[in-house]
Structure 1
Amino acid sequence: MSTLPSLTRTDDRTSDRQLPQLIQARTGKMTRELLLEPGKHGLGMTPSTLAADTTTTAVCGFCATGCGLRLHMRDGEAVGLTPETKYPVNLGMACPKGWEALRVLDSDDRATDPLVRKPDGGFDPVSWDTALTLFTDRFKSIQNKYGKESIAFLSTGQIASEEMAFLGALAKFGMGMVHGDGNTRQCMATAVTAYKESFGFDAPPYTYDDFEQSDCLVFVGSNPCIGHPIMWERVLRNRKSPEIIVIDPRRTETAMAATQHLQLRPKNDLSILYAITNQIIQRGYVDHSFVDQHTTGFEQLREHVAGFTTASVAEQSGISEEQIIRAADTIGTKEAVSLWWTMGVNQSYEGTRTAQAIINIALITGNIGRPGTGANSITGQCNAMGSRLWSNTTNLIGHHKFEDAGDREKVARELGIGVDSIPTKVGWSYDRIMEGIRRDEIKGLWVIATNPAHSWIHQGEARDLLDKLDFLVVQDMYHSTETARHADLILPAAAWGEKDGTFINSERRYSLIKKVRKAPGLALSDFSILRGVAHYWGLDEMFAKWTDPEAVFRLMQQLSVGQPCDISGINDYQQIDRCGGIQWPWSQRDASECDVPEPQRRLFADGKFYHDDEKAKLIAAAVTPMPEPTDDEFPVMLMTGRGTVSQWHTQTRTSKSPVLRKLYPRDPYVEINTLDARSMDVSNGDWVRVTSRRGSLLAKAMVVPTVRSGQAFMPMHYEATNQLTLSHFDPYSRQPSYKNSAVRIERSS
């Protein structure tokens, strides 16, 4: 691999002039390049090495679509951007968030110094030496008093894959943590679990070209028109006049464009999918050759879904028998059917089995491995897939297993560490970590690039738990997040555009992020912060090879060999750049057979899956009752989800853009049906009080015909929304169910 100039920073306020000298004085060998801005990169696209006026392409840092953005440079720094026309993901398109990706870096509330909480509740800026000494002393003190497992981390789908790998390895192999999870538990755990059980590996099989190749697209609990607008643009490029079937309780923007909208009552997805499966079987649409050769469990599936008649399911779900039959006929007779789902499925108390019901339909009709087909989970965060593969949360790094001695030995060998340093069990899930705080089992917590005080279910309780900790460290690009307000120590992190590495998008594509600006003040890349933590913890020898992001990428390649996600055939970062991203797998064998990977590749074309028998499993289970049904006191079912194209997650970034702020309502709002509004004597724009068993809030009424009577919808982006949501979880994935909470809505006096 090539060696290019190191990424250095020249701002006199940066810790280049502070931390390296302190560390060098202590060790006699640590330098700026080794700790702060790692030294041998394959990109060379940095403020110090770029020509004065040029362009470079990097992947967007918002959602998992993974669009290519052309960054326009002046005097060595990015000053503007346009969509990259040749990038195989977005083909010259960008959503409003992508257009504003640079602007959100310039906010006044960027974290620019390490901050330590004062006795009066305020914060004092401190040096990196003081911050990392405090970090180490406090966490080690907690472990000495309460045991190794008394500290934990909550990670993210927002940082680079190399940073995720470093964080997980540092925490679990070096610092002795067993428990650490990511905020991908809130968005993608259900899809991960479903794929693992059905396919034998977490393997989204599709490529974005399938949006254009399908003659029938089925969207379940998915509104890509708002949530993933560039993917929706790919649907609009489909020249086959496809049938579009939407299964969703709301008449969303995507549903308005559908040829068939099954507007079910909330949380009847699983019953409807089983009824459709039953009709596919009864009406002779099963691809028996594919089923016999490539699946197991068909007879059990047939017996299970036989009880889901159109009559019984229609009555309970609020749609007609004719709609169920028409959907089954459409799926059964079209040549290329793709089925897509997002948070409406994943964030459910029975989400895993619902996702597998979608997978079952694709499998029994032979709609997998061919253009325009697949059971396709659309990912949420920009690098949730990186978290799934590399973060050491639900899997041992590289999608190995903590419980497998052979996997532990392989990881130890490739990383040059002692096998005894690797935990032998999977750590606690996010909800169990929070429960551990409640039980006084977790006393210290490290939160990286996520905002649980806003986003975690039953928000009031979550904030109380954060305040219960002995020591809370928040590592973020902003000092103003709801979670940072609870911190004892804030570590200022660089953002997208201020560091290097890779993201992996929904279609398994590795793409590059590039440093095209300086981070403000003393802020450092997460990678550099982790190197600092490793040094102060006394782990220089263990992480001697982890010198820079591309060096870690090479370690990731070695760990991937023999795995379904093998990327050992990628030459270097430059090849990823030249190719517009590379989808996994791309093994050494793949590279030997073809010099350049095809820009669009899908899985399972050979009908071979990742179970030992190379067959996919058809899995079904009983439908379970809703944990909190409506009643006389709380008669309305509240759903949550994405609000507008210009909002994103907890708005820590999108709220910083004046353009994006103009594109969505400033105040929290709740969508209610016209009939319900009339019965409450509420007009559009009136303030109403929304109350659940957990909290109460004020919101503006948005009177719409797109939600049914007895139902309501609030965007998840507003801070207040999760005051209402119920703390219950899918039993297999442990993903929270945000979409169904019983509330009452009253006109505010």
Structure 2
Amino acid sequence: MPQLPSIVTKLLKQHSGPLTADLVLEPGQFGLGKVPKRLKPAFTTTSICGYCATGCQLKLHLDEEGRAINLSPQAGYPVNLGMACPKGWQALDPLDSADRATVPLLRDPDGKMVPVSWAEALETFTTRMKAIKEQHGRDAVAFLSTGQIPFEEMSLLGCLFKFGMGFLHGDANTRQCMATAVTAYKQSFGFDAPPYTYADFEESDVLVFIGSNLCIAHPILWQRVMRNKRNPKIIVIDPRATETAQAATQHIALKPKGDLALLYALAHCIIRDGRTDAESIARTEGFEELAAFLQDYSPAAVAERTGMSVEEIEALAHTVSEPGKRVSWWWTMGVNQSYEGVRTAQAMINLALITGNIGKPGTGANSITGQCNAMGSRLFSNTTSLTGGHEFAYAEHREKVAAGLGIPVESIPSEASMAYDQILAAAEEGKIKGLWIIATNPFHSWIDSGRLEALREKLEFLVVQDMYHSTESARAADLVLPAAGWGEKDGCFINSERRIGTLKKVRQAPGIALSDFRILRLIANAWGCGEMFAKWTDPEAAFRLLRDLTKDRPCDITGIEGYEMIDRMGGIQWPFPADRGEDRPAPGEERRLFSDGIYYTPSGKAKLLFSPPAELPEDTDSAYPYLLLTGRGTSSQWHTQSRTGKSDILRKLYPQEAYIEVNPADAARLGLKEHDPVQVSSRRGEMQAFVYLAPTVKPGQLFLPMHYPEVNRLTHPSFDPHSRQPNYKACAVALKKVRPHG
């Protein structure tokens, strides 16, 4: 094939990550004026999918200009094993949407959004944010970030905002999905450390899913369950007969939010009958206190609260503690998005610890993460924790980070940021005057979202940095900064099983949109603190800085050389320290934590934590007689649909208008038929939806998919006291038929 120097030059400019062997270079030829000896008509590279935290690797097929034109699942990757869900197959579609933000937009005095240059956008950003800081102080500006961008960008944002710009308050929308799991693990294990690997789906004898519709939310992980050759018992604990519940061995249709009481009753039975693991208990603290506490949680004591019989509870307790059986506990948003999610997660952790089901194949108390880089956010975003798995409160941690980044230690605050809900409450009270939203959409996704309209009036300056100008949040902004999306930049994600994988730039962002990394560097220079981030020249340079910061932390990844090594190894799970000696995992190897029985607490022992179950923050009554449940609608929908809604194919796979699942008995009593329009009302707002008759929901309960923008006008603003995570899953509503006009 003839050499194509112009094509290669353009490709190398567009693509800063390594290609596969389809592009062959002779030694020493990767330099100015050098071209590949041989270039195939089509080439490929790989990238981790940018939707959920399963972390599937996709094979991207590029044209001769280096632009991705198609994709397929990567067969040999240890996560997805050649599979992809509908979102993954259509991952390129959202990049071509007509509503992409292609140029900065600034609201003029007449309220109209008008295009401006990057120079004007940066000047406006810095001038107005500095004015707010000068007039109202450091605490008057905050940012709300995401679990959707690479952790190199997340960390640069947090470091710029707190160390360079001198502000304090910032949180990520990981608070909406994973804060409960983070807090539960930190308190119990001493560090935010999901202990499992995906192989455990295939190696369990008993898998218990609580508040997890795995078939819909994480379909590739459900396929991993289906690969289990041990003839496992699959138990789903969920008020609704979800797709996962229908496919399971056993569905326990628990009363809404009866999960914590049930878990306590199971532990009560197991301890009462002596079906515990003495060796594992010896590596815990608080067992005697837990045993005493559980005396009040016999099956009879919790039967009414759970909706289960004593016999059903006793039978389940035997199933999850049978000697010699590998038992794993799994949870997602049905637990996390709760007013008592931390204690519920810890009740599963307690069960794993007292039965010895941790640190071994097919075991664990395992949170399944929501967003593609929520784990990266947890370790590197510099929001609730100091970047690299450190804590703001510890002087030695601040000194280590300052030395590693080459910044003055006094620039690192010792105080913790306000949490997401506290930031929004402060804005509502007029204390937060400037708000910067990056790659998230709280005007749709936040609980009791109608309050954000009033909050907006209190803000002096709202900046939204996003790949679309059409999101609910972007439409409310004073300034929109156009950002590149997945497929248009490089970096790393970390998935649910702690596996680091790379994403690649395979498209140019449209117009003059830039990667978040480049936008942040421009802001640093405009602010006057660019020199502080001189070493952050590109995402891989940032990766190496952050990698070195993790030394001697539980998430130590100092043994990773760079992006090429991550690709070559099939992703790398943390920890991966440089001093591993001969203990080097093979490419694609899957590793779990705590096989040595040593945890990250000061004593090296896990903590057994508990407290009494709380009452529902909002129960039903005569005015609002139905309990509303929310969750994922289909595997083709994602969060606020700002991306999945751009795919013609995905839009055909789910209803375009909001629908509500109603039990046929309730529908008959209200005179409702399939597809009837109804009004759903709570004490906070109302919406319209179409009836879907569903015996999968119990009488007195309703279900709405979370993806439609009106849904969060209904949800209740209550929060877990430990994690500050919102309770999206249960609130009281009324339902009535909408009468046609005339």
Q: TM-score, normalised by structure 2?
A: 0.94
Describe how 1:593-608 pairs up with structure 2 within 5 A.
Answer: 593-594=583-584, 596=586, 599-608=589-598
Shift of the alpha carbon at 1:120? 2.8
Matches of 1:211 and 1:564, distance apart in 2: 24
Match of 1:382 among 368, 372, 375: 372
Q: Structure 1 residues 591, 569: closer, same or farther in 2, change over 3 A?
A: farther
Q: Distance in 1 between matches of 2:305 and 2:534?
A: 60
2:431 aligns with 441
Cα distance in 1 for residues equivalent to 2:719 and 2:113: 36
Q: Which deviates more, 312-321 or 538-547? A: 312-321
Partner residue, 2:445: 455
The aligned residue for residue 73 of structure 1 is 62
1:311 maps to which residue?
A: 300
CA distance in 2, matches of 1:342, 1:388: 16
Mapped to 2, the partners of 1:8 and 1:340 lie a distance apart of 47
CA contact (8 A) 1:68 1:89 kept: yes
Partner of 1:538: 528
SS class of match (2:114)? strand
Please say if 1:571 is aligned against 2:526: no
The 2-side partners of 1:626 and 1:236 are apart by 35
Provide, for residues 103-122 of structure 1, a one-character-per-residue CA deviation record: whole Å limited to 9, x for no partner: 11110000000000123322
Pick one of 630, 636, 651 that aligns with 2:641. 651
- Aligned counterparts of 2:703 and 2:728: Cα–Cα separation in 1: 11
Q: Secondary structure at the match of 1:709?
A: coil
Matched, 1:271 2:261: yes
Q: Which runs of 5+ in 1 are unaligned?
A: 12-32
Question: Which residues in structure 2 correspond to 1:510-659 (within 5 Å)?
Answer: 510-590=500-580, 593-594=583-584, 596=586, 599-659=589-649
Tell whether the 8 Å contact from 1:385 to 1:504 is kept in structure 2 after alignment.
yes
Secondary structure at the residue paired with 1:196? helix
Q: Which residue of 2 aligns with 1:248?
A: 238
- Is the 2:334–2:729 Cα contact (8 Å) retained in structure 1? yes
Cα contact 2:428–2:454 (8 A) shared by 1: no
Per-residue deviation at 1:468? Answer: 2.1
**Aligned position for 1:331:** 320
User: Unpaired runs of 5+ in structure 2?
Assistant: 24-34
* Root mean square deviation, CA, Å: 1.9
Q: Which AA in structure 2 matches 1:419?
A: V
Summarize the alignment of residues 149-188 of structure 1 with structure 2, pairs less than 5 Å apart: 149-188=139-178
Local SS of the residue matching 1:142: helix
Tell which deviates more after alignment, 596-605 or 271-280: 596-605
Residue 205 of structure 2 is aligned to residue 215 of structure 1? yes
8 Å contact 2:429–2:458 — kept in the other structure? no
Partner of 2:711: 721
* 443, 467, 481: which one aligns with 2:471: 481
Please give the per-residue CA displacement for 1:282-307, whole angstroms capped at 9, x wherever unaligned: 22210012111x11111111111121
Counterpart of 1:678? 668
Q: Where does 1:467-506 land on structure 2 (aligned, <5 Å)?
A: 467-506=457-496
State which of 355, 371, 375 in structure 1 corresponds to 2:345. 355
Structure 1 position 43 matched with structure 2 position 18 = yes
Q: Is the 8 A contact 2:201 2:225 kept in 1?
A: yes
In the TM superposition, what whole-angstrom CA distance separates every residue of 1:436-471 from its partner, at most 9, and x where no partner exists? 102211100100000000000001102221232100
Q: Which stretch shows the higher mean deviation, 557-566 or 597-606?
A: 597-606
1:320 aligns with 309
Q: CA offset at residue 593 of structure 1?
A: 3.5
Overall identity of the aligned pairs, in %: 59
**Alpha-carbon distance, 1:315 to partner:** 1.8
TM superposition score normalised by structure 1: 0.94
Deviation at 1:230, TM superposition (A): 0.2
Amino acid at match of 1:747: K
Give the match for residue 20 of structure 1.
none
Aligned-partner Cα distance in 2 for 1:681–1:712: 16
| 1:746 alignment partner in structure 2 | 736
Report the Cα distance in structure 2 between the residues aligned to 1:101 and 1:193, rounded to whole angstroms: 32
Q: Give the superposition deviation at 1:319.
A: 1.6
Q: Which of these residues, 179, 182, 196, is aligned with residue 189 of structure 1? A: 179
Residue number among 337, 360, 372 corresponding to 1:370 in the alignment: 360
Verify: 1:261 aligned to 2:251, yes or no: yes
Match of 1:56 in 2: 45
In the alignment, the residues of structure 2 paired with residue 44 and residue 96 of structure 1 have an alpha-carbon distance, to the nearest angstrom, of 25
Structure 2 partner of 1:24: none
**In 1, Cα distance between equivalents of 2:426 and 2:550:** 33
Q: Deviations over 1:27-83 (max 9, x none)?
A: xxxxxx9xxx999x5636899999651111111011000001010111211100010
SS of the equivalent of 1:184 reads helix
Number of aligned residues: 718
Superposed displacement of residue 8, structure 1 = 12
Are the counterparts in 1 of residues 19 and 44 from structure 2 also a CA contact under 8 Å? no
User: Residue 423 of structure 1 aligns to which amino acid in structure 2?
Assistant: P
- Would you say the 8 A contact 2:54–2:79 is kept in 1? yes
Q: How many angstroms apart in 1 are the aligned matches of 2:587 and 2:296?
A: 46
1:300 to 289, 292, 315: 289
**Whole-angstrom CA distance in 2 between matches of 1:281 and 1:315:** 22
Q: State how far apart, in whole Å, the 1-side matches of 2:124 and 2:342 are.
A: 41
Q: Give the C-alpha shift of residue 594 in structure 1.
A: 2.2
| Comparing 583-592 and 157-166, the one that deviates more | 583-592
Q: Tell me the residue number matched to 1:465.
A: 455
Task: Out of 258-267 and 704-713, give the one that drifted further.
Answer: 258-267
Query: Partner of 1:203 in structure 2?
Result: 193
Equivalent residue number for residue 22 of structure 1: none
Task: State which of 367, 382, 389 in structure 2 corresponds to 1:392.
Answer: 382
From the superposition, tell whether residues 392 and 8 of structure 1 become closer, same or farther in structure 2 (CA, over 3 Å).
farther
Change (3 A) 1:518 1:38: closer
1:301 is matched by which residue type in structure 2? L
Check 1:401–1:605 CA distance in 2 against 1; reply closer, same or farther (3 A cut): same
Using the alignment, how far apart are the partners of 2:385 and 2:8 within structure 1?
34
Tell me, what secondary structure is at the counterpart of 1:542? Answer: helix
Aligned to 2:214: 224
- Pairwise CA distance, 1:648: 0.4
**C-alpha deviations, 1:484-511, integer Å up to 9, x for none?**
0100000000011000000000000000
Amino acid at match of 1:308: Y
Equivalent residue letter for 2:653: L
What is the SS of the residue equivalent to 1:589? coil
Instruction: Output the CA distance in 1 between the equivalents of 2:157 and 2:218.
Output: 28
Per-residue CA shift, 1:154-173, capped at 9, x if unaligned? 00000001000100000010
In the alignment, which residue of structure 2 is the partner of 1:134? 124
Opposite residue 309 of structure 2, the aligned amino acid is S
Distance 1:38 1:152 in 2: 33
Tell me the distance in 2 between the aligned counterparts of 1:8 and 1:700.
53
The aligned counterpart of 2:30 is none
Deviation at 1:224, TM superposition (A): 0.4
Find the aligned partners of 2:341 and 2:710 in 1 and give their Cα distance.
25
Shift of 1:598: 5.5
Could you list the per-position Cα deviations for residues 659-707 of structure 1 after superposition, in whole angstroms to 9, with x for gaps in the alignment?
A: 1111111110111111111110001111111000000111011111111
Q: What letter matches 2:635 in structure 1?
A: V
1:52–1:73 contact (8 Å) kept in structure 2: no
Structure 2 counterpart of 1:652, which letter? S
Q: Aligned with 2:216: secondary structure?
A: helix
Stretch deviating more after TM superposition (46-55 or 197-206): 46-55
